[in-house]
Amino acid sequence: MDALVQHLERLLSQRVELHLKDHRTLAGRLAGLDEHMNIVLEETEERTEAATRRLGRVVLRGSNMISLTAPGAPGRSP
Amino acid sequence: MDALVQHLERLLSQRVELHLKDHRTLAGRLAGLDEHMNIVLEETEERTEAATRRLGRVVLRGSNMISLTAPGAPGRSP
Amino acid sequence: MDALVQHLERLLSQRVELHLKDHRTLAGRLAGLDEHMNIVLEETEERTEAATRRLGRVVLRGSNMISLTAPGAPGRSP
Amino acid sequence: MDALVQHLERLLSQRVELHLKDHRTLAGRLAGLDEHMNIVLEETEERTEAATRRLGRVVLRGSNMISLTAPGAPGRSP
Amino acid sequence: MDALVQHLERLLSQRVELHLKDHRTLAGRLAGLDEHMNIVLEETEERTEAATRRLGRVVLRGSNMISLTAPGAPGRSP
Amino acid sequence: MDALVQHLERLLSQRVELHLKDHRTLAGRLAGLDEHMNIVLEETEERTEAATRRLGRVVLRGSNMISLTAPGAPGRSP
Amino acid sequence: MDALVQHLERLLSQRVELHLKDHRTLAGRLAGLDEHMNIVLEETEERTEAATRRLGRVVLRGSNMISLTAPGAPGRSP
């Protein structure tokens, strides 16, 4: 079951988007994460329907996250 | 109680569908998962009633998932 | 406290019904489970008030389950 | 802190009642349990305000339970 | 951090009151507990606004409890 | 990551205030706590908008707590 | 997966802001934290829409937190 950890470590230092339960999106460089999905982002931008603002370094408690997408990752398409 | 882990590992690299609490479906290739049902999908498509869009690689926090189905798996029928 | 594990393992490969918090019932052959009540069913049928449909192999995240019944198990009656 | 485990094991094979968050009561013979309060009952009867029905063997996920009472246990009265 | 365990063990066999999320109070002799605040009471009385009734031995799942008070314990007053 | 434990142990035997999710405040002497934020208070006073009353020794299940403040602690001000 | 711990330890003694589920912000010096995101702040200021007040040392239970931002941290901008 190490497959998950290996995939997550491969995402470190990449730009990712976090989709939160409160409908915000956080976009930034993935600097750290653990199996609770606690996450550290750097160069973070918070995006809501109303506005975008710079937040610097952000630690997100995993329980507030729905999913993380890595748009730049080489997702092979069929 | 290793029966669960063995079944899950057999699903790795297969195409699966995740049914989420927020009524979205994510369809993709299962690239990783753990016992919290944290999941990594590749070549992911998000399907809602309104639309379908490509998401690339997605890490889903397990607490947002209801179930995972593997339609292509050989489910013996009575 | 191993009594629980032994009882659960005895149910493996039997036909069971899962009663979910969202009022669905999943009926199938129990292929795997763990102490979080994460469950793998094979030959699964989903039953709602409206309809029944075949799902093949299903992995259910335990937090969505209320209870599992094994109708065919020899429940001694008083 | 082993006091809890010892008390629970003493209840094995006794008839108990489980009081659930969804207002149902399950009555049966306690066949197994663990520290998450996951529980196996045999010869189970489900009692709601509307009806009583036989369920055979039931595995209840602990998070759905409020409390377990053992009416037949020798509770010394003051 | 063993301070908590030592305090709890000192309460064993004392009469305590449990205050539950569903607004009931359970009063009885503390027979067992663990770090999840799963609790075994003996000679239990359930008290609601409407009535009081005897329950014998009760196992409470900790997640349903807010707090436990030990009125008879020697709480030094300032 | 031992920094948290050391800080909490330094608060033992000090007077603290607990702010609960149900809008009550418990004030007392901190007698024990663990990493789940399960807490033992002595000489406890419960304060609501309506009234204040003495509770003696109280064990609070951590999941009901928002935060703990130690007004008497030497919080250096800028 | 130690990346998270290392990032968090680097924030110790820095000024941070905690964003809570109840819409309050706590600003203070980070004195301790653990993997549950339980946090100790010193020199804490609580900020709501209505007012700001000094709280001294605060221990926050992690489950009440959404995120932690470290405005002063060197977040490299693209």
Highest mean pLDDT among B5-9, D43-47, F30-34: D43-47
What residue segments make up the domains of chain E, in order of their start? 3-69
Per-residue pLDDT for A16 more than 70? Answer: yes
pLDDT band at D31 (very low <50, low <70, confident <90, very high): very high
AA letter at G1: M
And the tokens for A75?
Answer: 């997702």
User: Which of A7, A62, A78 comes nearest B43 by C-beta?
Assistant: A78
Q: How far apart are alpha carbons C70 and D13 in whole angstroms?
A: 18
Inter-chain touch F76–G43, beta carbons under 8 Å: yes
pLDDT band at C22 (very low <50, low <70, confident <90, very high): very high
Per-residue pLDDT for C74 more than 60? Answer: no
F46 min Cα distance to partner chain G (Å) = 19
pLDDT band at D2 (very low <50, low <70, confident <90, very high): low
Which DSSP letter does residue C5 get? H
Q: How far apart are alpha carbons E57 and D72 in whole angstroms?
A: 9
Position E72 scores a pLDDT of: 64
The alpha carbon of residue C41 and the mean position of all alpha carbons in its chain are separated, in whole angstroms, by: 7
Q: What mean pLDDT is predicted for residues F6-32?
A: 92
Q: In Å, how far are D53, E12, E35, F41, G13 from E70, measured between CA atoms? A: 40, 10, 17, 11, 39
Q: Using CB atoms, list chains with 3+ pairs below 8 Å to chain D.
A: C, E
Residue among F67, G59, G68 nearest A60 (CA): G68
Q: How far apart are alpha carbons B15 and B41 in whole angstroms?
A: 9
Q: Which tens digits make up the pLDDT trace of C26-68?
A: 999 999 988 889 999 999 999 998 999 999 999 999 999 999 9
Q: What mean pLDDT is predicted for residues D2-25?
A: 88
G53 min Cα distance to partner chain A (Å) = 24
Residue of B66, B68, B76, B77 best to disrupt the C interface, most CBs of C under 10 A: B66
Inter-chain touch A68–B58, beta carbons under 8 Å: yes
pLDDT band at D4 (very low <50, low <70, confident <90, very high): confident
Inter-chain touch F69–G55, beta carbons under 8 Å: yes
F46: left (phi over 0), alpha (psi -120 to 50) or beta: beta
Inter-chain touch D67–E56, beta carbons under 8 Å: no
Q: How far apart are alpha carbons G55 and A12 in whole angstroms?
A: 37
Question: φ and ψ at B71, to 5 degrees?
Answer: -60, -30
Position A75 scores a pLDDT of: 43
Per-residue pLDDT for E16 more than 90? Answer: yes
Are residues C59 and B10 in contact, defined by beta-carbon separation less than 8 angstroms? no
Find the helix or strand (DSSP H, E) in which D30 lies: strand D25-33
Please name the residues between 12 and 31 in chain F that touch chain E, using a CB distance below 8 Å: 12, 20, 22, 31
B77 min Cα distance to partner chain A (Å) = 29
Q: Which of A68-77, C11-20, D11-20, E6-15 has the lowest mean pLDDT?
A: A68-77
Q: What mean pLDDT is predicted for residues A49-62?
A: 93
Position A19 scores a pLDDT of: 95
Rounded mean pLDDT of chain F? Answer: 87
> Where is pLDDT greater, at A35 or A38?
A38
A33 min Cα distance to partner chain G (Å) = 5
Find the closest chain A residue to B2 by CA distance.
Answer: A1
Long-range contacts of C9-13 (CB under 8 A, 24+ apart): C9/B1, C9/B3, C11/C68, C11/C70, C11/C73, C11/D57, C11/D59, C12/B3
pLDDT band at A72 (very low <50, low <70, confident <90, very high): low
B9 min Cα distance to partner chain C (Å) = 12
Q: Which fold has domain F3-69?
A: SH3 type barrels. (2.30.30)
Range E44-55 burial, b when 16+ CB lie within 10 A, else e: bbbeeeeeeeeb
- Chains G and A contact (Cβ–Cβ under 8 Å for 3 or more pairs): yes
* Interface residue B4 vs chain C (CB under 8 A): yes
AA letter at C39: I
Position C78 scores a pLDDT of: 37
Find the closest chain F residue to G35 by CA distance.
Answer: F1
Q: In Å, how far are A29, B8, B12, C8, D59 from C5, measured between CA atoms? A: 43, 19, 26, 5, 11
Q: Where are any strands of DSSP class E within B34-76?
A: 39-47, 52-60, 65-70
Residue among G7, G45, G2 nearest G27 (CA): G45
Which DSSP letter does residue A10 get? H
Q: What mean pLDDT is predicted for residues A48-57?
A: 92
And the tokens for E65?
Answer: 């409890």
Position C2 scores a pLDDT of: 55
User: Which of C32, C43, C55 comes nearest B4 by C-beta?
Assistant: C32
User: Which of C1, C8, C63 comes nearest D59 by C-beta?
Assistant: C8
Q: What mean pLDDT is predicted for residues D50-66?
A: 94
Interface size F-G, in CB pairs within 8 Å, comes to 78
Are residues A47 and A58 in contact, defined by beta-carbon separation less than 8 angstroms? no
Q: Which residues of A touch G70 (CB under 8 A)?
A: 56-59
- Chains F and A contact (Cβ–Cβ under 8 Å for 3 or more pairs): no
Q: Which of A60-64, D36-40, G70-74 has the lowest mean pLDDT?
A: G70-74
Q: What mean pLDDT is predicted for residues G3-29?
A: 90
Contacts of D27 by beta carbon, 8 Å cutoff, 6+ apart: D15, D16, D17, D18, D44, D45, D47
Inter-chain touch F37–G56, beta carbons under 8 Å: no
Q: How far apart are alpha carbons F29 and F55 in whole angstroms?
A: 12
Please name the residues between 34 and 73 in chain E that touch chain F, using a CB distance below 8 Å: 35, 37, 62-63, 65-73
Q: Which tens digits make up the pLDDT trace of G34-74?
A: 888 999 999 999 999 889 999 999 999 999 999 999 876 55
Residue of F59, F60, F63 best to disrupt the E interface, most CBs of E under 10 A: F59
- Chains C and F contact (Cβ–Cβ under 8 Å for 3 or more pairs): no
Position G31 scores a pLDDT of: 92
Per-residue pLDDT for G6 more than 90? Answer: no
Which residue bears the tokens 């996951």?
A: D38
Position F9 scores a pLDDT of: 84
pLDDT band at G4 (very low <50, low <70, confident <90, very high): confident
Which residue bears the tokens 């009867």?
A: D45
Residue among E3, E47, E78 nearest F56 (CA): E78
DSSP output for E39-56:
EEEEEEEEE-SS-EEEEE
Per-residue pLDDT for D26 more than 50? Answer: yes
* Interface residue G11 vs chain A (CB under 8 A): yes
Which DSSP letter does residue C64 get? G
DSSP output for A43-71:
EEEEE-SS-EEEEEEEEE-GGGEEEEEET
And the tokens for E30?
Answer: 């503390």
Which residue bears the tokens 């927020």?
A: B22
* Interface residue E7 vs chain F (CB under 8 A): yes
Q: What mean pLDDT is predicted for residues C2-9?
A: 75
Q: In Å, how far are B17, B76, C56 from B73, measured between CA atoms? A: 12, 9, 7
Rounded mean pLDDT of chain E? Answer: 87
Q: Which tens digits make up the pLDDT trace of F58-77?
A: 999 999 999 999 876 554 44
Position E30 scores a pLDDT of: 95
Per-residue pLDDT for A10 more than 80? Answer: yes
Find the closest chain E residue to F42 by CA distance.
Answer: E75
